[in-house]
Amino acid sequence: MLAEKLENRSFMPQADIPLVKDALPSPSLFELFLAFAKLGITSIGGGVNGMMHTEFVVNRGWFTDRQFLSGLALAQSLPGVNVANLALWLGYQLRGFLGAFVALLAVVLPPAIAIILIGNVVLRLSADPAIGALLAGLAVAAAGLSLSVGYLAMRYACVDVISTVLFACTLVGASVFHLSALAIVAVLAPIGIGIGFVRKRHERR
């Protein structure tokens, strides 16, 4: 179960986790739904991870940078859609199982309804040069948001030579050799986890 993994796994040893639920804000389920629904409605062109960081870390202060990046690392390491996994993690940390369900529903339902209602219209309009330019601009903005979160993650994760080498291997494997995310995680995740355990043991001595 995803929830069990959320409680027990960490991919960033230097982060201030595991989270203590009593130390986190406790928004109402309605407030949680509105926050995620806002993202689902406004995240045109992608870049949802960046928008989630802006909404929940910068604007609302529900998580720290490191807490958010820990959830993002976990979401990207599990099967399924990254955005859905991250919404589950964020909602679960704030309001438990019910919060996870509400967050997932809110982030998925609005775009699903929009696709059903206006998908064909947008597809026809995309042939118009002006609409095409608008969509291209949105794609660039989304890429910028994703890069900003990637840079933030790199800043926290690359704390020494070993972590920097792992980051470089991931970047080269994905961008140069076009390896699948599953292959990269299968090879590098055990190495990263092993290094994390070794660090923790040294810190306790």
Q: Residues 89-142: pLDDT tens digits?
A: 999 999 999 999 999 999 999 888 877 877 677 667 666 777 777 777 777 776
CB-CB contact of 70 with 85 (8 Å): no
Residue recorded with tokens 């998580």: 63
CB-CB contact of 12 with 70 (8 Å): yes
Q: Is the pLDDT of residue 166 over 80?
A: yes
Q: CA–CA separation, 43 vs 171, rounded Å?
A: 25
Cis-peptide, bond into residue 79, ω within 30° of zero: no
CB-CB contact of 91 with 57 (8 Å): no
The pTM of the full predicted model, rounded to 2 decimals, is 0.65
Q: CA–CA separation, 12 vs 3, rounded Å?
A: 18
The domain segmentation of the chain, as residue ranges, is 2-157, 158-205
Q: CA–CA separation, 190 vs 11, rounded Å?
A: 10
Q: Which of 177, 145, 170 is nearest to 45 (CA)?
A: 145
Ranges 8-12, 69-73, 91-95, most confident: 91-95
